[in-house]
Structure 1
Amino acid sequence: MDYMLDIHSQAVTHTKNKILKDIDDYLGSKEELSSYEQYLMERRHYVDQIWINVWLTKITNDISKKEKKQFLKQREYEVDGVDRKVINRLFRTEMRSHHPFDVLSWLNDTFFRQKNVWEKRYHAARELFLQEKAENNLEHEKTSMKLAITREIKRLIKKDAFLFYLYIRHYISLQLKNDLTNHKYKTADTFKLEEKLIPEGYLSDRDYIKVNDFLYELTGSIQKTNYWEYETYHDKYDKAVGEILSERVSEILLDQLPETVKKEYSNVYHRELTPVILYELSRQRMYALQEEFLEKIAEEYFSDLINLAALPFDEATHQERYHEDLMEQEHRKEQELLAIKQEEKAEERMLEDIFGREYNLSLGRDIDYVLHIGETNTGKTYRALERMKQLPSGIYLAPLRLLALEVYDKLNAEGVLCGLKTGEEEKDVDDATHISCTVEMFHERDHYDIVIIDEAQMVADKDRGFSWYKAITKANAKEVHIIGSKNSKEMVLQLLGDSTVDIREYKRDVPLEVDQNIFRIKHATKGDALVCFSRKRVLETASALENSGHSVSMIYGSMPPETRKKQMKRFVKGETSVIVSTDAIGMGLNLPIRRIVFLENEKFDGTRRRRLTSQEVKQIAGRAGRKGIYNIGRVAFSNDIKIMTRLLEQEDKLVQTFTVAPTNAIFERFQSYSRDFGYFLEIWEKFECPFGTKKASLSEERELYRFIQDTEIEARFSLIDLYGFLHLPFSKKESELTRQWRLTMEAIVSSTELPEPRIKSKNLEELELSYKAVGLHLLFLYRLGKRTEALYWERLRLELSDDVHEQLKTDVKKIIKKCKHCGRNLPADFRFHICDACHWSLKGRNMQYEY
């Protein structure tokens, strides 16, 4: 470590300089020369300590951790994995006695043996000390002078603040009057400079109630704050008030300042006190006054200041006028508050009229209700469907299009003529007596012998729950069979009010057992269903299984239902041994699953990533152990076995609220007040729904509405029809689909051909998006009654689902899980999205910023 010699030399020089500085401070404070020996006697402790302090600080800071460890290893210390603070402490201990500098010898050589050097040092230090003392005294006088002037200004401002405000108020009134002759400019809300300002007439006093309403108009000029932007009148008037304070008000204050203060200032600073200097001395108070005055003016009535402009400035006259205006302002405020209260009462009456008793619970009807309550995979839906087959007519309401399709196929295969109706497709069967559909297709005016409502616990869903509420409370049939989880029982009974209800509770015949060992991909065996919570993870896991010799089926949310059906059929027939799925597997899909494996214990719910709830764990785990095939259903977890087992075994939280959404009746009543859907969204926020309910967020409808707000599209449709189009069930997070929706709406309004969906088939993602695009097109065709045209697109969609199925069979092996940071291949059951090396690299970089 040769460079230690340089560090040592620097430390010696630094030590000498510090001691010489201490000698100068010591000698300069003495009125008479003190001897070198006297200095040592008084400052010996400092002299003895200075070297070790300078040396240890410098050597510790200038030598790296790596070099310190190398040095300590040479002295047989074990330092690998040792904390940085411990290494520093050991290193300082070793360095403490390393080539010490003999400070006392150096001092003796410099001063003890050269008495004249010590005396010269004294005279130079004393002269410097006296010079600094004189400068400090002068600075103290200046500070005291500034404080005295500041106090005096504060007193004068407090005394005459009202006069200053009257003066500035009159000046602003003249400016306002003058500015009303200027152009009014229009631009986008962003005020981007590349957007050219467009004059749209002249400013008018009729457009503004308060001065503040005017201040945010554009002047047409460009200014630079933190960046270049268009100037508003607020910016312009803020500067104007500042200029008046710095020029005119500062002159007034200087005139009122006592002559003794001004004379004392001249003596101390050797210059005259001017308005500019006075403003600088009171800048902070002036800034506060500037802000206060502009805020006060902004709250005045625009008409008051315009009328004030015709009145020449006179303190007494303007003071009287101000108090008159103030009294008028108070009167206007009272009138405005009264008007606001009247508007609030009118709005309350409107809310009551529109929403009223719309969501009150039913009081009991002449219907036989059968409530099928129990765990997943207990035969609830099977029993209800068996009853449906015995009756002349019926409708099955499914939570998913795939389940509706499954029941449609099942009933027709068993000789029960059944049609299919979802938002995206309709299959008419000649002489059909039954229908299978998604719950959103339910209509209360239709009558059946039996209505089956599946997955009733979905009544609590924040977006779709109202469809279950309508079906449960408005079903028009001789028998209504409601199927739900145990925790939905009390809520469903509450919804049914005084109705007679036959409650049938189901328990699993096949028990569930939890594997006590952590699951890894290599443990996958025939009959396993591996569950994760993203399409990407499903494909990566399926790829790893395929490449290790398994045959795999896949299920995920964006997969076409027809493809899902084929994937499931392959598993049922034994063509595949393992199935990898999202939580879609938990919603009524009956498969011969031996073991459910949770590859993840968390999911993203659209807002945040969170742990699975007890009900979600049970809903999914319940699919294990198909009755008649397995005697036991097994459940495995990839981590946190104890926590997940506790969730599986604990009692469910009761469903205590259900979701309400706008109805046709509500829109019909609202239309008597307004046809503005944006206003409807406002009052929907204000509407307080009944106890035990929660409002649908309508977040997706809001997002779509932004594209058509204040356009011909909104003007041409009734609110009911407009809401129907906004409510269409498609993936609104896909920008391609929202664009297609908007273009189709424009085509409907202009009575032109509907734009055909874009069909792309380059890869799996494009095929799935094309399938969704055709599905959205079908939603429009069925809503517009174009069933013949829909037949072609249904066939095309079926072809796309076949293509997705085939691509999944052939291409899934090519999918490899990679580190999103460096692209390195990762094991399929690796829990994270970046590799360990990148994780520690990023963490180390973040830690550096913490020091």
Structure 2
Amino acid sequence: MSEVAQRQSSFSRAEFDQWLAQRRAEEGMPVVPARGGRPVFKSWLRDMWEEIRPLPELRGLELFCERDVTMLVAEWSEQVVIGGHACALQVFEVLPLNRPKRAEVLTSRFRQLGGDAERWRPEIKAEMHAQIARMEQAIAEHRDMLREADIEEELRKFEGRLSVRQFIDRASRVVRELALRAANHRMAEGIALHRFHETFPGARARERRLLLIAGPTNSGKTYAAFQHLAAAQSGVYLAPLRLMAAEFWDRMRAAGVPCSLITGEERFPDPQARHVSSTIEMLATDAEYDVAIIDEVQMIADKDRGWAWTQAIVGVNAKLVIFVGSPDAENVLREIAARLGESIEVQRTERLTPLEVAEHPLDSDKPVDDATAFISFSRRDVLAWKQTLGTTQCAAIYGALSPEVRREEARRFAAGEARIVSATDAIGMGLNLPVKTIVFTTLTKWDGEKEITLSDSSIRQIAGRAGRYGMHETGTVTALNRRDLAHIRAAMAAEAEPLPTIAPIAPHMKMLDYLAQETGRNDLPSLLDCFAALPGDTDLFSKADVSSMRDLASQIGDFSLPLSTQFALCACPVDTRSGDHMRTWRQWVAAVAEEVPSPIPRGQKFTADGGTASAVQLQGAEGRVRLLAAYRWMHHRMPDLFPDIEEALAVSADANQFISNSLRRKSVRRCRQCGKGLPDQHQHAICDPCFRMRFERND
């Protein structure tokens, strides 16, 4: 007989059922019928517990069952109050119960365990109250920094039945967590997370007037704001893109208003100027202005850069602050204004030209009209459409291009050198192109994690670029198929949904210095973790996502760098998806630690009179320009350690011209197998002869 069979045969369920029936009869209780079940003692105990429990020898004993575990326990249950909160506690100690071989020993064994339980219960109660006293003391010590919700959340750890050991462990954890929560609240107060607006005393002392100019694309919002700024004695324009800042800079100077340009990668100061055109991250909150324009204010909802809009909205020191953007930002701006104690006026604008949704999808058999923009959502698709539409007659605009190249492509399109344009959603912001028709080639895009369908607001933002005022009487938006066209029609007719009432906050150096002082840590990854752990996700002012900076900070390594230097290195706009760029960035970190100047990064040379039909080489030139932009960014923070700014500008200019020349050329896709050119409309990566040869080989 097997060992399992022997073990099972030593327990007779019928024998124990007979014992139970006899004991209940002796106590004058009704006899219950036997039940079938597994021939295991603890299974029988669990199945028959309600019938066994009333027997006098089980007084003081409780049964604990969890999954496959069945135990007899001594238990103390009590309704207590901890920190002013009612809490039901059930704490037990396990009693040893070996599997009895004969039913007749059960009565004496249960009596023995009942006696043990009577001795254990006072000890369990005493231990329970000792741990409660510890928690009460922790709450009293940190009461001024704890919220009732903190205590309630911690006390939830005592839900359900717990062994004495589990109860002690959880009580210790609660004491630690309460101290940590109090410390986090203290640090949140120290960095004024919930009172973020109070960290800008200049703006708070100024009696600011807030004005929201809200309307759809092509409704003259920016023009109305420009009139205010150009007429002011001093002012600042804050843009989401370097390209937009440069365009506004040109516009101010064309109007005879001296203006400086300040972005992350470049500085063009004008000693005579009292106006500044700047990217929004470069705002100097200690400077005073008469008028400030914050453009594309709806980007406060952007998960990566929204913090810059919060900082500008709250901290810009100007008599008149003008917000320019879509109507869906009105609610969150009103909430911020209410928190600041400032009034806000709303000026609504309407489109200056009608915008129509086409009745039918684009007809592929008809020639494409002039002034048409084909919208895709990846560099690959933009270049593929450019090739399909006729490379020399089609401009291309996508995010990987530098602002200089994008401006040149926009100029070609505006001047009629290119009849049509293939672009990403970069066209939806910062480029005023003479587009008559917008064609959506797709309504899905990759958001960095997954494929998503465009939101209604994104569709309206992009579609609104059609029908430039003063150049076209109407604008038209269409798609390549009926399904997408129906979706566009519904999006254009839908009501704008308000943005979430959240104003994200990213840590700045004063915050990090305070956290370093409180925690005794000086490494940026630990301080960013500390910031992320601070309470404050339910307030208007909420913590921004710092995970991308945290990932970069973790690669600094063991270099003993000042905190401000670590922060500057991790704010550098390096392309973290490029292995070459990250290798260069790590070399910069080592050079900064050793205080050794870094030359411009090595790389392929691109001449101003050159060009390429190769998509791979074009991508290499684009990456080269981005890396040089990061070098220029570092120069403006550490000029002595990144000194070769003139060379970086010259090499960037050559590479940009190389890219512009390449985009004018007729690119030729080549077969991946034999290298021969592929026809424009060819849909595959290899040519037909190579495909046939492969098919014949496999056959």
TM-score past 0.5 threshold: yes
Report if aligned partners of 2:361, 2:480 keep a CA contact under 8 Å in 1. Answer: yes
Report if aligned partners of 1:439, 1:471 keep a CA contact under 8 Å in 2. Answer: yes
Pick aligned residue for 1:518 from 341, 344, 361: 361
Report if aligned partners of 2:235, 2:275 keep a CA contact under 8 Å in 1. Answer: yes
Pick aligned residue for 2:216 from 375, 390, 399: 375
Number of the residue aligned with 1:484: 325
Q: Which moved more, 1:552-561 or 1:668-677?
A: 668-677
Matches within 5 A, 1:44-63: none
Does the C-alpha gap of structure 1 residues 539 and 520 become closer, same or farther in structure 2, counting only changes over 3 Å?
Answer: farther
What's the offset of the Cα at 1:597?
0.9
2:238 partner letter: L
Number of the residue aligned with 1:344: 177
1:397 partner letter: L
Number of the residue aligned with 1:186: none
Number of the residue aligned with 2:101: none
Number of the residue aligned with 1:748: 592
1:618 paired to 2:456:
no
What's the RMSD between the two structures over aligned residues?
3.4
* C-alpha distance in 1 between matches for 2:686 and 2:548: 32
Cα shift readout 1:460-485 (whole Å, capped 9, x = no counterpart): 01110000011001111111111110
What's the offset of the Cα at 1:795?
2.8
**What are structure 1's unaligned runs of at least 5 residues?**
1-144, 159-287, 290-323, 837-851
Does the C-alpha gap of structure 1 residues 502 and 814 become closer, same or farther in structure 2, counting only changes over 3 Å?
Answer: same
Cα shift readout 1:637-657 (whole Å, capped 9, x = no counterpart): 112211221012211211013
What's the offset of the Cα at 1:509?
1.9
What is the TM-score of this pair, normalised by structure 2? 0.68
What is the TM-score of this pair, normalised by structure 1? 0.57
* C-alpha distance in 2 between matches for 1:783 and 1:682: 25
2:181 partner letter: E
Q: Secondary structure at the residue paired with 1:814? A: coil
Bigger Rg over Cα: 1
* C-alpha distance in 1 between matches for 2:429 and 2:687: 34
Q: Which has the higher helix share?
A: 1
**What are structure 2's unaligned runs of at least 5 residues?**
13-67, 70-119, 128-162, 199-203, 607-616, 689-699
What's the offset of the Cα at 1:612?
0.8
Report if aligned partners of 2:261, 2:276 keep a CA contact under 8 Å in 1. Answer: yes
What's the offset of the Cα at 1:789?
3.6
Number of the residue aligned with 2:544: 696
Pick aligned residue for 2:237 from 389, 393, 396: 396
Cα shift readout 1:680-735 (whole Å, capped 9, x = no counterpart): 343344333233565432232132123224x11xx3221x4423321222322122
* C-alpha distance in 1 between matches for 2:677 and 2:241: 38
Cα shift readout 1:290-330 (whole Å, capped 9, x = no counterpart): xxxxxxxxxxxxxxxxxxxxxxxxxxxxxxxxxx9x999x9
1:801 partner letter: N
1:366 paired to 2:207:
yes
Number of the residue aligned with 2:343: 500
What's the offset of the Cα at 1:782?
0.7
Number of the residue aligned with 1:671: 516
Number of the residue aligned with 2:613: none
Q: Which has the higher strand share?
A: 2
Pick aligned residue for 1:797 from 639, 649, 652: 652
Cα shift readout 1:523-570 (whole Å, capped 9, x = no counterpart): 4211111110111111111122225xx612111001011011111111
Report if aligned partners of 2:377, 2:425 keep a CA contact under 8 Å in 1. Answer: yes
Number of the residue aligned with 1:634: 476
What's the offset of the Cα at 1:414?
2.3
Does the C-alpha gap of structure 1 residues 156 and 417 become closer, same or farther in structure 2, counting only changes over 3 Å?
Answer: farther
Number of the residue aligned with 2:534: 687
Matches within 5 A, 1:287-436: 337-356=170-189, 357-360=192-195, 362=197, 366-436=207-277
* C-alpha distance in 2 between matches for 1:633 and 1:695: 40
Does the C-alpha gap of structure 1 residues 750 and 721 become closer, same or farther in structure 2, counting only changes over 3 Å?
Answer: closer
1:439 paired to 2:280:
yes
1:705 partner letter: A
What's the offset of the Cα at 1:407?
1.0
Number of the residue aligned with 1:100: none
Does the C-alpha gap of structure 1 residues 619 and 819 become closer, same or farther in structure 2, counting only changes over 3 Å?
Answer: farther
Pick aligned residue for 2:308 from 461, 467, 470: 467
Cα shift readout 1:499-540 (whole Å, capped 9, x = no counterpart): 122211101021111112222555421111111011111111
Matches within 5 A, 1:56-455: 145-146=1-2, 149-153=3-7, 337-356=170-189, 357-360=192-195, 362=197, 366-455=207-296
Pick aligned residue for 1:539 from 383, 386, 407: 383
Number of the residue aligned with 2:25: none
Does the C-alpha gap of structure 1 residues 557 and 829 become closer, same or farther in structure 2, counting only changes over 3 Å?
Answer: farther
Number of the residue aligned with 1:653: 497
Identical pairs, percent: 28
What's the offset of the Cα at 1:826?
8.2
Q: Secondary structure at the residue paired with 1:347? A: helix
Report if aligned partners of 1:604, 1:610 keep a CA contact under 8 Å in 2. Answer: yes
Q: Secondary structure at the residue paired with 1:716? A: coil
* C-alpha distance in 1 between matches for 2:657 and 2:546: 34
Q: Which structure's relative contact order is higher, taking Cα pairs within 8 Å and 6+ residues apart? A: 2
What's the offset of the Cα at 1:797?
1.4
Report if aligned partners of 1:372, 1:380 keep a CA contact under 8 Å in 2. Answer: yes
Matches within 5 A, 1:701-850: 701-709=549-557, 711-712=558-559, 715-718=560-563, 720-761=564-605, 763-786=617-640, 789-810=644-665, 812-815=666-669
1:589 paired to 2:398:
no
* C-alpha distance in 2 between matches for 1:157 and 1:458: 72
Cα shift readout 1:250-288 (whole Å, capped 9, x = no counterpart): xxxxxxxxxxxxxxxxxxxxxxxxxxxxxxxxxxxxxx9
Number of the residue aligned with 2:22: none
* C-alpha distance in 2 between matches for 1:670 and 1:489: 34
1:358 partner letter: L
Q: Secondary structure at the residue paired with 2:554? A: helix
Q: Secondary structure at the residue paired with 1:671? A: helix
Cα shift readout 1:727-782 (whole Å, capped 9, x = no counterpart): 22232212211211111011000111214312324721111111011111111111
* C-alpha distance in 2 between matches for 1:608 and 1:694: 25
2:526 partner letter: Y
